[in-house]
Amino acid sequence: MENRIDALFDRLREEGKKAFVAYVAAGDPDISRCKEVVKALAEAGADLIELGVPFSDPLADGIVNQMAAQRALDAGTTTPKVIEMIRELRADGLEAPIILFTYLNPVYTYGFEAFHRDASAAGADGILTLDLPPDEAAAHRELAYHEGLRQIRLIAPTSPEKRIASISAASEGFIYYVSREGVTGEQDEVATSISDQVAQIRAHTDTPVVVGFGIKDPEQARTVATQADGVVVGSAIVKIVAAEGASPDLAEKVRDFVKPLVDAVKSV
């Protein structure tokens, strides 16, 4: 069976469309309601879902996503429960590719091979380990184990040409270009360097390039979609979950917020 991420980007390339990638923290505000949110994201047209695995020390995340991870942990979310949630979402008919956005610690604590095997069996399609550089994975055989999960790589604005080349060569599924320095979180303006940076990455690989960090509204999403193969929106969605977590209309509010973002990306 073709990996869902590969199949998605093959289809979008044929259609001349860009991908909309939505991020939420797994288990925020709790497992049951998070499942409703994920389904709402798919209903709104999100092509790919990123699930953040809750971790107590998420150094690459801004305050919005840090608090989301803490809410999930406080609600009793564990790594095994995240994997089980994916299995349940697949059983409920969710078809969108799922990426696990994580730090190395939860994966290594679970057991690196066991995590990849179980996550893949549950229905995950890829993994983005924020604090695992590709050269470290190459140096340690157990860290290179992936059991069917595409290893998504990050490239930053500060990455030198040589590193861009090496990361691109090792890329699978898609490359996540971080549009600015610092941690996750909404920004008032889109970085002006995106087009040049994406072109530099594309010089080394045919792997799709998606852009995230800071995109918060349809206008920004449309602008970024003209320069890349996909757009990631995370903190702006997580803020809706934070504000409406106790509301019976949480899923509907998320869907209503995300649909204009998807439409903007698809208009390109």
Query: What is the arithmetic mean of pLDDT over 112-126?
Result: 94
Name the amino acid, one letter, at 220: Q
What was the pLDDT predicted at 59?
A: 85
Q: For Cα atoms 30, 126, 118, give the angle at the middle one, nearest 5 degrees.
A: 70
Residue owning tokens 């983005």: 128
CB 221 within 8 A of CB 264: yes
Q: What end-to-end distance do the CA atoms of the chain give, in Å? A: 30
What was the pLDDT predicted at 184?
A: 47
% of the chain surpassing 90 pLDDT: 79
Please give the residue that has the higher pLDDT: either 213 or 36. Answer: 36
Number of domains in the chain: 1
| pLDDT exceeds 80 at position 84 | yes
Domain span including residue 246:
4-266
What was the pLDDT predicted at 186?
A: 45
Backbone angles phi, psi at 215, to 5 degrees: -80, 130
- The DSSP-derived string for 109-132 is HH-HHHHHHHHHHHT--EEEETT-
pLDDT tier at 182 (50, 70, 90 boundaries)?
very low
**Which of 28-32, 158-162, 185-189, 253-257 has the lowest average pLDDT?**
185-189
What was the pLDDT predicted at 265?
A: 98
pLDDT tier at 191 (50, 70, 90 boundaries)?
low
| pLDDT exceeds 70 at position 243 | yes
What was the pLDDT predicted at 145?
A: 63
| pLDDT exceeds 60 at position 155 | yes
Q: Token digits for 249?
A: 């209309």
Query: What is the arithmetic mean of pLDDT over 109-124?
Result: 94
| pLDDT exceeds 60 at position 188 | no
What was the pLDDT predicted at 140?
A: 62
Bridge partners (DSSP) listed for residue 150: 126
Residues catalogued as catalytic: 50, 61
Beta strand residue intervals within the chain, DSSP E: 19-25, 48-52, 98-102, 126-129, 150-151, 153-155, 175-178, 209-212, 230-233
- Can you give the CATH number for the domain in which 230 is found? 3.20.20.70
| pLDDT exceeds 90 at position 187 | no
Bridge partners (DSSP) listed for residue 175: 153, 209
Query: What is the arithmetic mean of pLDDT over 57-77?
Result: 94
CB 174 within 8 A of CB 230: yes
**Which of 43-47, 71-75, 103-107 has the lowest average pLDDT?**
103-107
Distance CA 259, CA 41 (A): 8
| pLDDT exceeds 90 at position 24 | yes
Query: What is the arithmetic mean of pLDDT over 214-223?
Result: 92
What was the pLDDT predicted at 142?
A: 66
Bridge partners (DSSP) listed for residue 128: 101
Q: Average pLDDT of the chain?
A: 91
**Given strand 98-102, what is the order of strands in its sheet?**
150-151, 126-129, 98-102, 48-52, 19-25, 230-233, 209-212, 175-178, 153-155
